[in-house]
A and B are shown apart, each in its own frame.
Chain A
Amino acid sequence: MNPYNYLYVAGLLFTIGAIGVVVRRNAIVVFMCIELMLNAANLTLVTFARINGTLEGQVTAFFTMVVAACEVVVGLAIIVTIYRSRRSASIDDASLLKR
């Protein structure tokens, strides 16, 4: 087998995440899809680290994880705040930008 196969998996997962962001309406599920995309990216980083024989890719994946954690924390706080004022977790209800 070839380590490139991991890249195909990552590509598929990323694509699924992207569809999810567009299609799903529940803000929490949208967030999960974003997490899935970030994880797919991490998988490519780890795979490339292995292909290139250096640990730089893993370090970058580590940083990505921390950033993803930050993003989840803030994003979920925003969802809670929106939910508190609008009584809804649907991102279609938060469409004030239009007006």
Chain B
Amino acid sequence: MLTIQTPETILFWVLAPLSVLAALGMLLVKKAVHSALLLAFVMITLAIFYIAQDALFLGIVQIVVYTGAVMMLFLFILMLVGVDASDSLTETIRGLRPIAITAAIGFGGLMISLIARAKLGHGAFGLAEANKDGNVQGLAKLLFSDYVFPFEVISALLITAALGAMVLAHHQRTSAKPTQREQSIARFRQGTLGTAAGLPSPGVFARHNAVDVPALLPDGTPAPNSISATLKARGDILETSQFELGEVDKTVKEEK
């Protein structure tokens, strides 16, 4: 019969509230990147729980696969997709949020009360017996004997998923990529010649040449389109008015 030692109890009471808090934070923070980091924290606490519960192999896999690979994949996609209005926490579907929260509280309450009521009919056995040859060996015995067929099937699934992801992400151009020459011609053919020479670089004629500082036009006004759209979307842009030149001397004659 299993008796749980004090260190594990302490570990649990420290990590469990932290993991729940982190999960709640993941739900509530605005930026997806922060959500991802909080989720990674939850996963690491879970990995520790696994190891504490004699599931050494799973704990390591949890860290390597989840926090290592899967979460990195999430971050990579976040980088690819960038930041947009979907990060907003305001609800657009009317009435959905109260319903969701009520439902979730009901769901959680029912589940907790069910767990509290459940009786197994015996105490916890612990895995000392099952792990006597080592946890990895014990799992390997099961995986390659009783579960070898599901194991093979799941490997086929993994390969299929990898192929599927490649097919989905593969982008087939429907037309040839425009060459520089064509882009140049297109610029001159459009309605105004204002942008024919290309967009100004950030910081041009300005007092700072940082990427988040807009360029100044010849009349001294800032040019917002000189700053990368991503920076604008993130709001990482400095107030343009502070870079305006107060007075431009227009009396200077042009020399011939």
Contacts and interface: CB of A to CB of B under 8 A. Distances in A.
Asked if the two chains touch in their complex, CB atoms less than 8 Å apart, one says yes
Interface of A: 1-9, 11-20, 22-29, 31-33, 35-36, 39, 42-43, 46-47, 49-56, 58-59, 61-63, 65-74, 76-81, 83-84, 88-92
A22 to B, nearest CB: 4
Contacts of B91: 23
B127 A55 contact: yes
Interface stretch (B32-40, B179-187, B189-197): B32-40
Interface in B1-57: 2, 4, 8-9, 12, 16, 19-20, 23-24, 26-27, 32, 35-36, 39, 42-43, 46, 49-50, 53-55, 57
Contacts of A24: 27
B130 interface: yes
Given A13-B42, A19-B101, A66-B158, A74 B164 contact: yes
A9 B124 contact: no
B165 to A, nearest CB: 4
Nearest to B25: A16
Interface in B53-76: 53-55, 57-58, 61-62, 65-66, 69-70, 73-74
A13 B169 contact: no
25 contacts: A3-B4, A12-B23, A15-B104, A23-B91, A23-B97, A25-B92, A28-B74, A29-B32, A35-B70, A36-B42, A39-B43, A46-B55, A47-B53, A49-B53, A50-B54, A50-B126, A54-B130, A58-B57, A61-B58, A62-B139, A63-B147, A69-B161, A77-B168, A91-B86, A92-B92
A55 B157 contact: no
A46 B20 contact: no
Q: Which 4 A-B pairs have the closest CB atoms?
A: A53-B125, A90-B86, A70-B161, A15-B108
A4 B122 CA distance: 12
A74 B135 CA distance: 31
Among B46, B107, B126, B131, the most chain A Cβ lie within 10 Å of the Cβ of B46
Given A19-B101, A36-B39, A58-B139, A50 B2 contact: yes
A6 B53 contact: yes
A73 to B, nearest CB: 5
Contacts of A54: 130
A25 B88 contact: yes
B143 interface: yes
Given A5-B16, A15-B108, A23-B91, A67 B157 contact: yes
A51 B124 contact: yes
B134 to A, nearest CB: 11
A66 B157 contact: yes
B23 A36 contact: yes
A35 B162 contact: no
Interface string B69-91: 11001100110110011111001
Contacts of A20: 26-27
Contacts of B138: 55
B93 A74 contact: no
